[in-house]
Each structure stands twice: as structure tokens, then as C-alpha cells.
Amino acid sequence: MDVKVSASSITKTVTVALLGNPNIGKATLFQQLSGGHHQDVRFPGADVRMEVGIVHHAGMRMRVVDLPGIYSLSSTTPDEIICRDFIMLDKPDVVINVLDAGNLERNLFLTTQLIEMGVPRVYALNMSDEAHMRGMRFNMEALSMKLGGPIIETVARFRRGVEEMLDAVVDTIESARKYHNVAIAYDDHLEEAIEGVQQLVKELHPETMSAGHARWLAIKALEGDKVVLRRESEHESLVTAIEDKCRDIVRMHGDDAAVLLADGRYGYITGLIQQTVEMTGALRHVNITDMVDNLLLHRVFGLPLFLAALWLMFQATFTVGQYPMAWLDTGVVWLGDTLTAILPAGLTRDLIVDGIIGGVGGILIFLPNIMILFLFIAFFETTGYMARAAFLMDQVMHSIGLHGKAFIPLIMGFGCNVPAIMATRAIESRRDRLLCILIAPFMSCSARLPVYVLFAGVFFADWAGTVVFGMHVAGVAVALGAALMLRTVLFRGEGDAFVMELPPYRLPTIRSLIMHMWDKAVHFLRKIAGVVFVGSIIIWFLQAFPRDVELSRDYVAERAAVVAAAAAPEVQRAALTQLKNAEARELQKERYLGQIGIAVQPVFESLGFNWQTTISLMTGMVAKEIVVSTFGVLYNVGGDVDAGNDSLRAALAGAMPPLTALAFMVFTLLYMPCLATIAAIRREAGTWGWAAFSIVLSLALAWLMALFVIMVGGLFA
């Protein structure tokens, strides 16, 4: 939500962080707060971009930061480190800890660590409607006191409690009450160790360390937190004291400090729930989740049903998307024709009509298909079916040394490879995380979808939806095959055991689905406005210059001769079109873009790719969306166009046979990741070496698999 207030009434700008476990409605709550209007921002304390929404409420301007979903504030995964560092280094004014009302025991483990950090907190007891249906009742006043912060019952998908939650944020910031002065008491021996380390930390950092922060550092150090120990490794006295106290704890209790601290937290949680949560039994809870899982997770029918759901997604993406795509196509053609009639002939008109309209418009018409794809993905995520897909794929993933959790980033790759690679942070093992990062680009992202829709519609019209589905399945198959190869060669060893939460099924609201879909669509439109726009202009320039090209034939004289011959109108029109296309082909070959394509084309000669196709692949290295816009720019000038049809589809149909088109689709699926994906690989893997390795691996596999298509297809031709 974004309450309208005048600029003069804003008295303070504050930062609010959203933190919680996965699958608790945190993303939906963020969408409700931001109203779907947010941006990605890089924070000084974290080498990652996070979503930030602006909320105006009660005279405050709140910058709401949506942190990754995590289960703990340890240093096991990159997401945990990002959340912890953001809270400690960027110091948000308030942390909104989102809790699943029906699963408090699980959620509160993260809360206990947040309490230990001593930051101001507001609690959103989300999905409280489902908890009430199960007969759960909460003593809100007692919960608030024991958790050290105001707690509000919310139902994010229906916007219930959001206003009250924002009121609590304002009150926490302005009130003199110190909600966050709550401590979790541990065993006497453990408390003695904590106090000893805490005192040393304060002595070593007398000016910068508060008592609360020092206690938190002491607890993390005794837990064996690698990041904390590494940061304090220069203080030998502190390291020695920590080691001595850890040995004493093991000798006295038989368990290390990490186990005892976890036991203490769970003890606190158990007592808290017993005192504040009541099961009335007034309503009989029918566990719909178990009933549906009996079918969708069935050992025989589960996987076929999942594949059927994917087939339906891609079939709908193509068939339903055809209608609005045709409307947009008509609009783009009308705009191009109108500007051609209005603007005077010259370079400016050519740039606008052939470069910008032909390039950007050529990719814009596929927006409906992409929005439908994102709608399905949002539905799978919000209903809880995405987690079931990971569970179903666990056995398949285990055969290549990974586990089902690694399948979630791969499924996310159907939308975009960049967030898919970022989602690998949830994988604890660095070896497994690297392996998943390297195979994620083989998943067919939405940027490749326009290529499939265009080529499938031109060459395989009767089976277009199935072909699009097959390309995505092929991407999964190649990813799994590459993982098996890499596991054998580079990442040997047993994979981790698969332990993953399966959230209850929830029926999302239409509004939340549309907000998720529109958010992704806006990202796509921004890319069109940026990368594709600039790329289309560059491509147009390269295919429009040099202007003075010496032609092998006098086309002006030949056209005059055709007109003078006074043949039948149909014959004359066909002859003039043939001359126009021949001139356009010769001009393209002599200009910069044609020269580049002809120079590189021998590498792809065995695949049957012409120089125009080669150029489109080269420009697609920047962003896969540019592949289609490149064809739009190249073929808008008339080369290889049939007599009565100047459309891109007709040009492609005359430029290559169906088998070559299929090989091109396979090559587009697998070859070099776009620049944004390469940057994400470098950031998540930590070095440019892995990014370079990904480029080489993808190019090699793309060329080999495209050649395989040509060779096998040739046997049946």
C-alpha cells in the first residue's frame, strides 16, 4: 500500500527490513506494501541487489527491503550471510519478522537469533486465518512481551492487518518503550562462557561494541560461526579463550556449544508456545494438503502429472498468446507504415522504422507469451506446487549427485537465469552450489521464448506448442546431463541428503498472481527499453553502412527495363520484387554487419546457418531477446522476402529448411549465457574463471547438439 501524503508532511525517512522463513507469504506481504512498485537497489553493506519498495505512512517515508527467505542467521548459506550483514551493517530502523501463524515452532528459531542481535522488531503473524481454522488461538499480549516487540495478526494475500502492522512500525520507532530488551537465558555453564567471551569482545572493541552486539558475537563465536571467527582471528587472546571455553563445555556436557545453544533456543520456543498458544479444537481441520499430496506426489502418477502441467503451461503460452500477439503485431506494422508515410525519406526514417520499430517492435509482440509463462510460474510458486516439483525430481537429481532442492533454481530458470543462479544460495554445499550455477543457464529462460514462438510458428505450425514444450524439456535434459558429466570430472563426491519443507497448499488471489506477473513483465519491458533498444540501433547502423556500396549489377536500369516491357501487372510486380530482393541481399553482404557475418559464418557452415543467422547469434550474446529483433532489422529491408509478403515470418520460411530451424533453436537454447547471467555467475561463484568456463562449456555443447540435430534429422529427411 502507498498512502497518499503530501511531501511537506513527511517528517522522517526510515529503513524497514522484511525477514522470515521461505513459504510464509513474505513476498506477498512485500507486494502489498510496495503496491507492486519497487526497484532493485545495491546496498553498501551487501554485494547484492535487493528489492526495495517505498511506503508512506503516518508521516514517515519507509524504505521496505525484502530480504531473502532463510531459516537461520548463521553463515551456512550466502543468503544467511547477506541477511545478517544487512541487519548488522546497514542497521535498519525496524525489522519486520514475518511468521507463519500455523508453524510458530519452526519459524521462531530464526526469531530467537534475531532477538539475540538486539535489533528493534515488529512481528507479522501471517496466515493467521489458516491458524484460526485449525483451532489455534493466540495470547497476543503475552507473545508481544516475550518476543520483545509488537505482534500483529496479518493475512497478506487479503491485505488484512497491514495498516496495523505499519502503525506498529511507527510506534516502535517513535516510542520510548524498549521492546528489544529481551534475553534468552541458557544453561549456567553456557551463560558463564558467553559472558566471558562477551567481556573480551567489549575490551577489544571498546568504542564500537554495544553490550547487545558483544553478546551476539560471543554466542556466534561459541557456535563456531566461520565468518565471526575469521573476522576476529587477529585477536589471539579472544581465539584462545573461545577454544578453551568450547573444550570446557564439551568436557562438562558431552555436547559442543552449538548443540547446547540450539537446545536452549528450542526450549525457549517450547515454553513460549505453551504459554501463549491454545488449541481450542472448536473447528475441525481438514488437512487438504495431505489429500492432494496423495495424488500429486504419487510414486507412479506424480511425475507424469508434473510433466503434464509443464506441457499445459507451454501449450497455453503459445496458443492463448497468439491472439494478443497478433493484435500487437498489427499495431507495430501500423505504426511502421504510418511513420513511413509521415517522415521524409532518409537515414532518420530508416533508423526509426527499420531500426527501432523493426527491432524493438519485433520483440515487443511476444510480451503476451512471456506474461502467460510468468503467470503459470507465479501460480506454481504461490500454491506450493513448486516445492513438490523439487520433491518429485529428487530421485532424478540424486542420480547426478544433487538433491531435489537444486531443482528449484532450475525451474526458476524458465523465467530468468539470473534469479535462478541467485536462488542457488539456498544450497548449503559450495560444491553443489557451483554445480547448480553452471547448469542453470541451460534452462530455457523467457528471453529465448520469442525465438521458439517465432520459429515454431513458421516451421512447425501444427505442433508449435509441443515444440516449445520440447525445447524446455531439452534444456532440462541437457542440464542434467551436463551435471552428471561435471560431477564425474570436476565435482566428485556424494551429494547432500535432501531435507526440504513442503508448505501447505494455498489458493492465491487473482490480484497477487497479476502483481507477480506484472512485476516480471515490467522487468522485460525495461530490458526492451534499454538493452534491446540500444542493440537494435547498433545493429541497424552496422547493416546500413557504408552507404556507398559498389553493386555488381545496374539494378536501376534493370527495373526501368522491366517497367518499359509493359508486361502483365502480376509478372511485372514479381520481377520488380525479385530485383529489389536481389539488390537488398547484395547490399547487406557488403555492409559492416554482412561482412562480420560472412567472416564468422564458416564456423557454423556445417550447421547450415547463413550469415544472417550467424549475426543474430552473435548479437544474442548480449541478451537473447535481441536475436529476434536482429532478424527484424535484417529482414525488414526485403532480403529473401517472397513476392507478395514482406513479413519476418515469410522471410525466415524462405531462408532455411525446417531441420536447420530446429538446429538453430537448439543452439539458441544452449549457447553462451547473456551478459547479465555471466555477471551473476561471476558474483555467485566468486571468480571470473567459473564464468569463463560456463561460456566455453555452453558454446561447445550448443555446437555439438545442433550438429547432432542436423545429422540425425538428415537420416530421416
Q: Is residue 105 part of a domain?
A: yes
In a domain, 516, yes or no: no
Q: How many CA atoms lie within 13 A of 108 on its CB side?
A: 22
Q: Is residue 574 part of a domain?
A: yes
Domain that holds residue 554: 547-585
H-state helical runs in 224-287: 226-231, 236-253, 257-276
Q: Do residues 142 and 273 share a domain?
A: no
Calpha distance 608→659 (Å, rounded): 9
Residue where a domain stops, chosen among 127, 150, 174? 174
690, 434 in Cβ contact below 8 A? yes
DSSP letters of 598-650?
HHHGGGGGGGT--HHHHHHHHHTTT-TTHHHHHHHHHHTT-TT--TT---HHH
Which among 549, 340, 555, 373 has a CA at the least distance from the CA of 472?
373
Confidence of residue 707 (pLDDT cuts 50, 70, 90): very high
Phi, psi of 544 (to 5 degrees): -100, -15
Question: Residue 345 carries which DSSP code?
Answer: S
In tens, the pLDDT along 634-653 reads 775 433 333 233 457 777 88
The CATH number assigned to the domain holding 266 equals: 1.10.287.1770
- 392 and 502 in contact (C-beta within 8 Å)? no
79 and 149 share a domain?
Answer: yes
Q: Are 193 and 137 members of one domain?
A: no
- Domain co-membership, 81 together with 37: yes
Are 153 and 140 a contacting pair, CB within 8 Å? yes
Regarding whether 271 and 213 lie in a shared domain, the answer is yes
Final residue of a domain: which of 279, 306, 326? 279
What does the pLDDT average to over 228-241? 82
Q: What is the pLDDT of residue 108?
A: 93
Question: In Å, how far from its chain's centre is CA 603?
Answer: 33
pLDDT in tens, 501-516: 667 777 777 877 887 7
Question: Range with the lowest mean pLDDT among 2-16, 380-394, 524-538, 679-693?
Answer: 2-16
Q: Are 16 and 64 in contact (CB under 8 A)?
A: yes
User: Is there a domain that residue 564 lies in?
Assistant: yes
Average pLDDT estimate for 32-57:
71
Query: CA-to-CA distance for 91 and 118, rounded, in angstroms?
Result: 11
Residues in Cβ contact with 308 at an 8 Å cutoff, skipping those fewer than 6 apart? none
- Helix H or strand E encompassing 19: strand 12-20
Residue 314 C-alpha cell reads as: 507451454
Q: Comparing C-alpha atoms, which of 401, 406, 425, 420 is closest to residue 76?
A: 425
Burial of 291 (0-12, 13-18, 19+ CB in 10 A): exposed
Q: Do the Cβ atoms of 349 and 343 come closer than 8 Å?
A: yes
One domain for residues 16 and 154: yes
Is the residue at 137 inside a domain?
yes
* Overall average pLDDT of the 15-29 stretch: 90
For residues 418 and 682, the answer to whether their CB atoms sit within 8 Å is: no
CA-CA distance, 669 to 692, in Å (whole number)?
A: 18
CA distances (Å), 559 to each of 22, 553, 566, 576, in order? 68, 11, 12, 6
pLDDT of residue 2: 44
Q: Is the pLDDT of residue 203 over 80?
A: yes
Nearest Cα residue to 391 out of 403, 409, 375: 403
> What average pLDDT does range 700-716 have in this prediction?
91
Choose between 44 and 552: higher pLDDT: 552
Within a domain: 347: no
Rounded-to-integer distance, Cα 225 and Cα 217, Å:
9
Whether residue 254 sits in one domain with residue 169: no
The answer to whether residues 132 and 238 belong to one domain is: no
**Domain co-membership, 23 together with 151:** yes
CB 340 within 8 A of CB 646: no
Q: How confident is the model over 333-391, as pLDDT tens digits?
A: 888 889 888 989 888 888 888 778 876 776 677 788 778 878 888 888 778 888 788 77
The answer on 164 and 197 residing in a single domain is: no
Task: Show the cell assigned to 584.
Answer: 537488398
Count structural domains, the chain.
3
- The answer to the question of residue 71 being in a domain is yes
Instruction: Judge contact between 654 and 641, C-beta under 8 A.
Output: yes
Pairing between β-strand 277-279 and β-strand 151-153 as defined by DSSP bridges: unpaired
Tell whether 207 and 149 lie within a shared domain: no
Q: Measured between alpha carbons, how far is 73 from 529 in angstroms, rounded to an integer? A: 39
Instruction: CATH number of the domain at 48, please.
Output: 3.40.50.300
Last residue of a domain, which of 152, 174, 196?
A: 174
Specify if 598 maps to a domain.
no
Neighbours of 343 (CB within 10 A): 13
- pLDDT band at 107, cuts 50/70/90? very high
Residue 693: pLDDT over 70: yes
Smallest CA-to-CA distance from 169 within 312, 303, 17 is with: 17
* 17 and 141 in a common domain: yes
pTM of the predicted structure, to 2 decimals = 0.63
96-110, 210-224, 475-489: least confident range: 210-224
> With helix as H, strand as E and coil as C, how does 39-70 read?
EEEECCCCCCEEEEEEEEECCEEEEEEECCCC
Mean pLDDT, the chain, as a whole number? 81
Number of H helices, E strands in the chain: 35, 9
